[in-house]
Amino acid sequence: MSRTLNLSKELIAKESITPKDEGCQDLLIHHLEKLGFEIEKMPHGEVQNFYAKKGSTSPLIVFAGHTDVVPPGPIDKWLSSPFEPTIKENILYGRGAADMKTSLAAFVVSIEEFISENPNHKGAIGLLITSDEEGVATDGTVKVVEALQERQEKIDYCIVGEPTSSKKFGDTVKNGRRGSLSAKLTVKGIQGHIAYPELIKNPIHEVAPAIDDLVNTIWDEGNEYFPKTSYQVSNINGGTGATNVVPGHVEVLFNFRYSSSVTAEILKERVEAILNKHKLEFLIEWQHSGQPYLTEKGMLVDIVSSSIEEVCGAKPTISTTGGTSDGRFIARLCDQVVEFGPINESIHKINEHIDIGCIDKLKDIYKLALKKALA
Ligand SMILES: [Zn+2]
């Protein structure tokens, strides 16, 4: 049986629901120690992290990923138990099959094979692994990155194993992610009886034209790598439940997914200017959950794309779509971060799965990338 498949199954069998690791990292470390990696465990609170490295010359290429998975949801809806890796008709089922325990297995086996085939390679290989990617992501990669920044560790290339393929394995590589900025806006009015409009100030009526303005604002035109910045309202809450009462305030939650053509500061200023233009009495609480990052086309994008083309027979699309990822933290100490992994169609769903034919292809792509960077 394929060693990558075997290791994937061993990892899936561990119930590492975020932020638990349940021994996944020890299993990876066991393999890495045999290869001569130096291991640094960096736990924070409940979260397990480690940084492993072999070699001290440049370039340093690092694989990054997470051992935690999202909860399985109702177990009776699964075809097989989510933590009992099961193969049916060449499909491997289990929580983490695509996001991203097979990528972790592919990292380790690609490194083992690369080192045995190229014992005198140049440069260095690293791994940055966390159990806090699917949760709040405050004690995971970000903490390791801070520690590495402090001692001025320089990473030349980083491959994140997130499931980036869309319809077909190997069709998409991510070279960046949009930023994410959320806000809770509270607009004040004057509560009162609906029949006495002269005595009240309806905050729902006050905020409506401002929302319309925000929706119709063009925040930027995007750029070569990013689509236009998008503004979306996710919740509006106002009202006492009674049909004859105008509420004293209304709450609006919204989010920006923004390109590298603007900054969070600019968006905040522009929103507040629009709210002021509408003469609203408001309070706004901002939450900046992700800085955008971008790796322009260059060495690592070329290495990963050509490795995919050699294994899969077609060039991937280079994209920055989708949610945020730990790539945003790693980009602080590494100019070239690229994400590539399995098909993401079943991730976080019931019956998460991967075609087993893709598992060794993924390992081969990572191995080729190592060869192109270090051999
Ligand atoms: Zn993931």
Q: Are residues 163 and 188 in the same domain?
A: no
Q: Which amino acid is at 79?
A: L
Q: Provide the domain count of the chain.
A: 2
In CATH, what number is assigned to the domain containing residue 192? 3.30.70.360
Tokens 């690592």, residue located: 300
Task: Report pLDDT for 234.
Answer: 95
Task: Report pLDDT for 1.
Answer: 83
How many beta carbons lie within 10 A of that of residue 150, not counting itself?
A: 8
State in Å: Cα 215 to ligand 1 middle: 31
**Residue 202 CB partners (closer than 8 Å, separation 6+):** 189, 246
Q: Are residues 227 and 325 in the same domain?
A: no
**Residue 222 CB partners (closer than 8 Å, separation 6+):** 228, 229, 259, 261
E strand or H helix at 183: strand 179-188
Task: Report pLDDT for 349.
Answer: 97
In CATH, what number is assigned to the domain containing residue 129? 3.40.630.10
Taking Cα atoms as reference points, which of 176, 203, 206 lies closest to residue 192? 203
Model-wide pTM > 0.75:
yes
Helix ranges, 166-298 (H) = 203-216, 264-277
> Residue 248 and residue 110: Cα distance in Å, rounded?
61
State in Å: Cα 266 to ligand 1 middle: 30
State in Å: Cα 21 to ligand 1 middle: 14
**Of 262, 290, 318, which one is at a domain's C-terminal end?**
290
Q: Phi and psi of 333, rounded to 5°?
A: -125, 10
Beta bridge partners of 319: 174
Helix (H, G, I), strand (E, B) or coil at 285: strand
State in Å: Cα 192 to ligand 1 middle: 49
Peptide bond into 100 cis (omega under 30): yes
Q: Are strands 282-290 and 179-188 parallel, antiparallel or unpaired?
A: antiparallel
pLDDT in 10s for each residue of the chain, 375 residues: 899 999 999 999 999 999 999 999 999 999 999 999 999 999 999 999 999 999 999 999 999 999 999 999 999 999 999 999 999 999 999 999 999 999 999 999 999 999 999 999 999 999 999 999 998 889 999 999 999 999 999 999 999 999 999 999 999 999 999 999 999 999 999 999 999 999 999 999 999 999 999 999 999 999 999 999 999 999 999 999 999 999 999 999 999 999 999 999 999 999 999 999 999 999 999 999 888 999 998 999 999 999 999 999 999 999 998 888 999 999 999 999 999 999 999 999 999 999 999 999 999 999 999 999 999
Q: Are strands 336-339 and 157-160 parallel, antiparallel or unpaired?
A: parallel
289: left (phi over 0), alpha (psi -120 to 50) or beta: alpha
State in Å: Cα 85 to ligand 1 middle: 18
Q: Are residues 328 and 361 in the same domain?
A: yes
State in Å: Cα 254 to ligand 1 middle: 24
- Which 8-state DSSP code applies to residue 343? B
Tokens 């507040």, residue located: 272
Helix 101-117 × helix 3-12 angle, to 10°: 150
Q: Are residues 189 and 129 in the same domain?
A: no
R_g of the chain computed on alpha carbons:
24
Task: Report pLDDT for 292.
Answer: 93
**Of 248, 273, 290, which one is at a domain's C-terminal end?**
290
Q: Are residues 29 and 157 in the same domain?
A: yes
Q: Are residues 96 and 72 in the same domain?
A: yes
State in Å: Cα 128 to ligand 1 middle: 14
State in Å: Cα 193 to ligand 1 middle: 51
Task: Please give the residue range of the domain that contains residue 52.
Answer: 3-177+292-374
Distance of CA 228 to the CA centre of its chain: 20
Q: Are residues 203 and 100 in the same domain?
A: no
Q: Are residues 94 and 218 in the same domain?
A: no
Assess contact for 203 and 249: CB atoms under 8 A.
Answer: yes
State in Å: Cα 343 to ligand 1 middle: 11
**Of 250, 265, 290, which one is at a domain's C-terminal end?**
290
Q: Are residues 283 and 211 in the same domain?
A: yes
Assess contact for 228 and 212: CB atoms under 8 A.
Answer: no
Q: How many residues does the chain have?
A: 375
Helix (H, G, I), strand (E, B) or coil at 362: helix
Render 223-234 in DSSP notation, one character per residue: -SSSPPPEEEEE
> Residue 168 and residue 174: Cα distance in Å, rounded?
15
Residues serving a catalytic function are: 68, 133
> Residue 30 and residue 16: Cα distance in Å, rounded?
18
Q: Are residues 240 and 304 in the same domain?
A: no
Q: What is the largest CA-CA distance in the chain?
A: 84
Render 345-361 in DSSP notation, one character per residue: TTTTSTT-EEEHHHHHH
Q: Are residues 227 and 338 in the same domain?
A: no
Q: Are residues 164 and 308 in the same domain?
A: yes
Task: Report pLDDT for 343.
Answer: 98
